[in-house]
A and B are shown apart, each in its own frame.
Chain A
Amino acid sequence: MIEVSGLTKYYGDFRAVEDLSFTVNRGEILGFLGPNGAGKTTTMRVLTGYMPPTRGSCRIGGLDIFDDAIPVKRKIGYLPENVPLYPELTVREYLLFVARIKGVPAPEIPAGLDRIIHKCGLESVRDRLIRQLSKGFRQRVGLAQALVHDPEVIVLDEPTIGLDPAQIREVREMIKGLGRDHTIILSTHILPEVSQVCDRVLIINRGRIVAEDTPERLTQAATGQIHAEGLVAGSEDALQRCLQAEPLLAGATCQREEGDRWRLVMPLQDAEVRPRIARALVEAGLDLYEFSLHRATLEDVFLQLITDEEKEKPAAEESAPPDEPAAAASASDEEVSQ
């Protein structure tokens, strides 16, 4: 449904997005994940035809977003990060205007407006001025605006920003419901949102794709790092003896909490060895207060990918300077020889 290839966007000299390629299939919900300034909004703006890319192309339903701008834009519903509202209009007037400029045929408009007002829970405010609405309602009007022409593709830039927890859950449910017969791209930096809503995740940083997979597989990739955490009480002697004697506890670290309590962090190869570890601890004469398993979350994956990127960059820069003295030396050599 959406094919992006080699998308690059510069603002003057600043590179916002570099050589981005991905596809989204019909009926799929793609999560766009990245820290602020990673290029999420830029990518979405190019995808929706707001601005042209510096290089590369975007095709939606087989049509190029710039060569066939008008038919393509009919297929797209877009909720920008800053919801584009006219505060002086009422909700209904605003949605009417949007429906008209999106090219909804006039006879279908009244029914379409009623449907979308109902769907987004705007019945109580339909004749209120947008200026008077709360942030939550404005966000919902924004969502209604993106859906009013029943587009095939929906692009949502941080749709749950500024909503309270109950509203966030509502909006997520709504997006999931829409995913059944729409193609959705959704950007966010809220990680649970991605694992709850999206079929696939694209992590981008500094304008490049760092990872692309399903939320499950991304977290699985990091499950090499499962560990158990425990709180035990006992003498330091008993604890040390136990740690050395039990091979499953190799690599465990302990830290003293108040009194004779110890916080243990135990890396595991396999989650199934937990009962054996618990028994070993108890048999060593330690009292077990807490024992829990920790899996890497999407958050860990995300942070790890982002920090790996940051590390690579300075490393690449550091390798450059040693060349300089050499170059300077050879230059002075030349001078001498001359």
Chain B
Amino acid sequence: MKTVIHIMQKELKSYFYSPIAYVTLTLFMLVSGFVFFLIFTDISERTAMSGMGMGMGSDPVNVPQLVERYFLGWLSTILLFLIPLITMGVYAEEKKKGTFELLFTSPLTTLQIVFGKYLANLAFCLVLFAGSVLLQAPLFLSGAPDAGPMCVGYLGLILFAAGMISLGNYLSSLTENQIIAAILTFVLALLLWFFNFFSESGTEGVKAILGYLSPLQHLEDFQRGVLDLSHSVYFLSMAFLGLFLTYRTLESLRWRG
């Protein structure tokens, strides 16, 4: 366990010593800040207008709640396309530098390496999420959103990141070129995003299958503040699949030499 933490520490250190961490962080803050601004102004205007039209007596709309929900939806899409940047170098760089020879000849198990790196990526995602919470400061000023649904929403995002990162790690372990790893992961992200897109049309059967495969669909309940075990199972099995494939790839790498 200690060894896993040491690998994780080193991984985060390497990450923050290189420009990629700051590029990812800046990109994330800019895009999500912009999206937040659009949602916030849009919803405020609309509720103000409907409030005038229907009179004060009708359903009161919880503005912060609504903004929060839309914002979380957008965050998952932004993340889908930023995760390739986070995971691309994990194994590809190690292969390119020849540092696998150090790791594999050290008293480490392959599992420790896989988990150390995986947890470091996940920790970096938590930094991004913390940044996105800061962006929502205006909501807290104008009447706080419910903490419960917000936590559930973020739990959904963390599970989603856990699944995507593990697949990204696997794709990075396949190549020694981090650009190729990034492109592969990006294509996968695009594919998953399309599943979401096409699950809104087509026949019932196709809809159901594509809808099940799309991570964004599984996130919707989380964003509404509903905690459903079946959605968690989806993300956890995604994470397990990715980690398992990564483990197998590293093992076969050693056998082939």
Contacts of B6 in A (CB 8 A): 97, 100-101
Contacts of B98 in A (CB 8 A): 80, 82-84
Q: Given A52-B255, A70-B109, A101 and B14 touching (CB < 8 A)?
A: no
* A78 within 8 A of partner (CB): yes
A89:B107 contact, CB within 8 angstroms: no
B101:A50 contact, CB within 8 angstroms: yes
Q: Given A51-B255, A85-B97, A97-B6, A76 and B105 touching (CB < 8 A)?
A: yes
B102:A98 contact, CB within 8 angstroms: yes
* B46 within 8 A of partner (CB): no
B106:A84 contact, CB within 8 angstroms: no
Q: How far apart sit A52 and B14, CA to CA, in the bound complex (Å)?
A: 30
Q: Taking chain B's interface residues, is the majority helix, strand, or loop, or is none over half, making it mixed?
A: helix
Q: In chain A between 97 and 125, which residues have their CB closer than 8 angstroms to a CB of chain B?
A: 97-98, 100-103
Contacts of A80 in B (CB 8 A): 98, 101-102, 105
Q: How far apart sit A85 and B14, CA to CA, in the bound complex (Å)?
A: 12
Which of these, B7, B17, B103, B106, contacts A89 with CB under 8 Å? B17
Residue-by-residue, is A51-81 near B (CB-CB < 8 Å gives 1, otherwise 0)? 1100000000000000001110110101010
Contacts of A45 in B (CB 8 A): 101, 257
B255:A100 contact, CB within 8 angstroms: no
**How far is the CB of B165 from the nearest CB of chain A, in Å?**
21
Contacts of B108 in A (CB 8 A): 73, 101
* A188 within 8 A of partner (CB): no
Q: How far apart sit A60 and B97, CA to CA, in the bound complex (Å)?
A: 28
A11:B107 contact, CB within 8 angstroms: no
Q: How far apart sit A100 and B109, CA to CA, in the bound complex (Å)?
A: 14
Q: Given A50-B104, A73-B107, A101 and B3 touching (CB < 8 A)?
A: yes
Contacts of A98 in B (CB 8 A): 102, 106
Q: How far apart sit A134 and B201, CA to CA, in the bound complex (Å)?
A: 60
Contacts of A27 in B (CB 8 A): none
Q: In chain B between 89 and 119, which residues have their CB closer than 8 angstroms to a CB of chain A?
A: 97-109
A49:B104 contact, CB within 8 angstroms: yes
A101:B103 contact, CB within 8 angstroms: yes
B107:A74 contact, CB within 8 angstroms: yes
**How far is the CB of A189 from the nearest CB of chain B, in Å?**
20
B254:A88 contact, CB within 8 angstroms: no
Could you jot down 15 A-B contacts, CB within 8 Å? A11-B257, A48-B105, A49-B104, A50-B104, A70-B107, A73-B105, A73-B108, A80-B98, A82-B98, A84-B99, A86-B10, A97-B10, A101-B3, A101-B106, A103-B107
| A71 to B, closest residue via Cβ | B107
**How far is the CB of B174 from the nearest CB of chain A, in Å?**
18
Q: How far apart sit A103 and B14, CA to CA, in the bound complex (Å)?
A: 20
Q: How far apart sit A78 and B99, CA to CA, in the bound complex (Å)?
A: 12
Q: How far apart sit A267 and B109, CA to CA, in the bound complex (Å)?
A: 60
Of A9, A89, A100, chain B has the most CB atoms within 10 Å of the CB of A100
Of B106, B109, B255, chain A has the most CB atoms within 10 Å of the CB of B106
Q: How far apart sit A51 and B104, CA to CA, in the bound complex (Å)?
A: 8
**How far is the CB of B10 from the nearest CB of chain A, in Å?**
5
A84:B107 contact, CB within 8 angstroms: no
* A158 within 8 A of partner (CB): no
Which of these, B3, B105, B254, contacts A78 with CB under 8 Å? B105
B105:A42 contact, CB within 8 angstroms: no
* A87 within 8 A of partner (CB): yes
Instruction: Please name the 9 residue pairs, one residue from A and one from B, whose CB atoms are nearest each other, closest first.
Output: A84-B102, A73-B107, A82-B98, A84-B99, A100-B6, A48-B105, A88-B17, A80-B101, A101-B106
**How far is the CB of B212 from the nearest CB of chain A, in Å?**
40
* B248 within 8 A of partner (CB): no
